Amino acid sequence: MMKYPLTSLAGVLLLSAPMAQATPADDAYIAGYAAAALKHNLNLDMPALTVKDGVNTLPVVGMSAAQRAQASKVLAESPGVNAVKIAETTEVHAKEAASLAADPTTLTTAETLVLPTGLLPTGHLFKSLLADPRWAHFSAAYRNYQSNNFDGRNIASVSFGETIPFYRANIGNSTAQWEAGLQAGVFSDFNLDASSADLVNTDFIASIYSSVRTGQFSAFGRLYHQSSHLGDEFLLRKVNTTFERVNLSYEGVDLKLSYELPYGVRIYGGGGGLFHREPSALRKWSAQYGIEFRSPWRLDFASMRPIIAADIKNYDQNNWSTDISARAGVEFDNSKVLGRKLQLMVEYFNGYSPSGQFYKDKVEYVGLGAHYHF
């Protein structure tokens, strides 16, 4: 059983690799086109726009709020532009501006990011949560359980999913933006100690979401469904035991708020509630919060940067005890395709199991995983 999810994941990565290497429009052409568009549409003279790998840096000193919004919208809609960064480029900030131009994929200072608008836009207003065990993305991980209350000590966990924005637009005459789309993921655990690497548990999560972003603040709200299922081989092994299957299924709503500090630090928090619960005795409420660090300094020879994150959840179901997920490692990003990232991270978890059928069991594990974000 184990070979099929890993083969599928490898296929996705291989198919995605050529796309990640696709060459964008030449930066010099983008800069010239953008300057001409600003002159034609807004009568703004900006011959010295900085463009790096399709990310356009817009100096806005002296502009009104309305001019900033109009200029960023014009630039975001220019051919080849992946994103627009609004920079307060004064003489005092000249050194930081030069650093930003050299590596536009990460904010070293509190800069405003404006993404392309319209149908099926690129990028995400709300960045993925690095340490959340149930954030939809593609991953494969080995986990060694320190506790005996899961099915086996050596577990392979895979996930398939993504957050897909369908539509994005600016909010009024401002640089604030909103988007709406779908988020879905499948999360499976396989017992490597079993003779055929048995499928133990699979969680299916599907949702509609909306997110907003203004400056360094972003928010993500969703309406979702989750159901959890046990594997056939697991059930056959447990048929003569006292293990009791739970028909776990529910809908829920949640909201997360995020703020990005300078130098790659991000904090977030939020909460949610359940309805249409099965079993009906499930308690409704939960809280989630965490902190992340994405290094603004990248090793150019490997396109690699250090990352570290901690995600904490508290559930009324578990008397508000703390579930902590911590991950640390490196991120390989292709600056030519904004948003595509491969992460290799060691991980640690201690708390009630995120695997749905085992939600009543407290577990502890360490592991190593590969995570791919589109």
314 close to 321: Cβ distance less than 8 angstroms: yes
Q: How confident is the model at residue 103 (pLDDT cuts 50, 70, 90)?
A: very low
pLDDT (tens digit per residue) in 47-59: 768 888 788 888 8
What is the DSSP pairing of strand 118-119 with strand 154-170?
A: antiparallel
330 close to 344: Cβ distance less than 8 angstroms: yes
Angstrom distance (rounded) from CA 220 to CA 24: 29
Torsion angle (degrees, nearest 10) of CA 26, 260, 121, 203: 130
Angstrom distance (rounded) from CA 46 to CA 48: 6
Angle at 268 between CA 334 and CA 272, to 5 degrees: 115
pTM tops 0.75: yes
DSSP 228-266: EEE-HHHHHHTTTSS------EEEEEEEEEEEEPSTTEE
What is the DSSP pairing of strand 55-59 with strand 83-87?
A: parallel
Read off the tokens for 128: 């993925």
User: In this predicted model, which residue has the larger pLDDT, 98 or 128?
Assistant: 128
Angstrom distance (rounded) from CA 225 to CA 246: 16
Predicted confidence at residue 108, as pLDDT, reads 45
Using DSSP, state whether 103 is helix, strand or coil: coil
Asked whether residue 44 carries a pLDDT value surpassing 70, the answer given is yes
Q: Which residues contact 90 (CB under 8 A, 6 or more apart)?
A: 61
Backbone torsions φ then ψ of 41, nearest 5 degrees: -90, -35
Q: State the DSSP code for 18.
A: H
Sketch out the chain's domains with CATH numbers. Answer: 27-91 (3.30.70), 118-373 (2.40.230.10)
Q: Which residues contact 92 (CB under 8 A, 6 or more apart)?
A: none
| Beta bridge partner(s), residue 333 | 341
Asked whether residue 212 carries a pLDDT value surpassing 70, the answer given is yes
- 327 CA to centre of own chain: 14
pLDDT (tens digit per residue) in 234-263: 888 887 777 778 889 999 999 999 999 989
pLDDT (tens digit per residue) in 290-337: 999 999 888 877 788 999 999 999 999 999 999 999 999 999 876 554
Of the candidates 303, 309, 305, 299, the residue with the CA atom closest to the CA atom of residue 266 = 309
pLDDT (tens digit per residue) in 160-179: 999 999 999 999 989 999 99
Q: What percent of the chain has pLDDT over 70?
A: 84
253 close to 223: Cβ distance less than 8 angstroms: yes
Angstrom distance (rounded) from CA 129 to CA 188: 19
